[in-house]
Amino acid sequence: MWRIIGVMYNVEDENGNIGNHLKIIRDDIGGYSWDSSPKSINEGGGVNEWSTSSIEKVLNENYYKKEAGGICYAGSEETVKKCPDWEKIGINDEARSMITKIKWPTGASNTGTYYTYLDKLYKAERTNENDKKNGCTKDSYVSGVGGYNKFYYCTDEVERKYDWTGYVGLMYPTDYGYATFRTSDNCIEKGIYDGSVDKKWTEGGTCNTNDWLFDNIISQWTITAGSDNTKKYASQVGFVGDNGGVGYGIARYINAIRPVVYLNSDVKIEYNEDPTYGTITNPYKLTT
């Protein structure tokens, strides 16, 4: 079962063609690290570059191709956790033929409160507004006092990129933000960052509880890296917290993984006159 995030306009595919594509998301496939690394690299916290992340590899190899294997992490210093049964939950041949290989923007969001609002966050996700490449340089390593936040700082030499071309990604923080049904609280104009003073997305607010992508049981990873050029964070990744706010955590943390794909523009929804069509008990069926 997948749900529709929306119809996305002017999306670029692997061949440079611009078109409109239906973007869909499924329920989580378990809780895993976004990435992990040996202790010698970012103190085991992982690297916040999507194109090299461990979860990108298993999603686009094992999950997408329905193949056994892969390495799934759940903790620092490459702590291994058993992967899901890809042959059972992976994407089958028919579904795979409906998915487009897309050029996904992978800009970084500044972890400061300036990016608490959706319009600024949306721009940051899809541009190089934050100098992601300067977020991690070899000479930026700073040892924290007593080890405090030591693994935030950069010892990797991975090139940060502003886009990635592939089949399976994760949602953006703004996919979550724009999915709220609540309008009376002006949620779109309220701060979605976990530390925002608006509090409409957290602490008993209604923006989160009326957002169908919200999960109050487990936090959910997004595809967007965090960047703070002052502190030179190397492992920060955006997530949707179980309190409803968007936050930034170390890549080796364990959060829910929810695969996201774009469908080919020629995919159709099968015709059905049943008034319950499109509900959880009578979901849309796709065809080509």
DSSP structural state of residue 145: G
Rounded CA gap, 19 and 12, in Å?
7
Rounded CA gap, 245 and 204, in Å?
11
pLDDT at position 184? 77
> Please, what is the Cα angle at 201 between 197 and 207, to 5 degrees?
135
DSSP structural state of residue 112: S
Beta strands in 15-134 (DSSP E): 18-26, 31-33, 72-73, 80-81, 99-100, 102-105, 108-110
Q: Which residues of the chain have pLDDT under 50?
A: 140-151
Rounded CA gap, 153 and 205, in Å?
34
Rounded CA gap, 193 and 216, in Å?
16
Spatial contact of 233 and 250, defined as CB atoms under 8 Å apart: no
pLDDT at position 258? 98
- For residue 246, the cross-strand partners are 193, 240
Rounded CA gap, 100 and 19, in Å?
11
Rounded CA gap, 276 and 210, in Å?
21
CA atoms within 13 A on the CB side of 39: 1
Q: Residue 276: how many CB atoms within 10 A of its CB? A: 10
Identify the CA nearest to 74 among candidates 101, 47, 55, 59. 55
pLDDT at position 137? 58
pLDDT at position 211? 95
**Segment 100-119, tens digit of pLDDT:** 999 999 998 876 655 688 99
Rounded CA gap, 224 and 236, in Å?
9
Task: Indicate the pTM of the whole model.
Answer: 0.92
pLDDT at position 145? 44
**Segment 119-133, tens digit of pLDDT:** 989 999 998 877 666
Render the burial of 120-135: b for 16+ CB within 10 Å, e for the rest: ebbebbbebbbebeeb
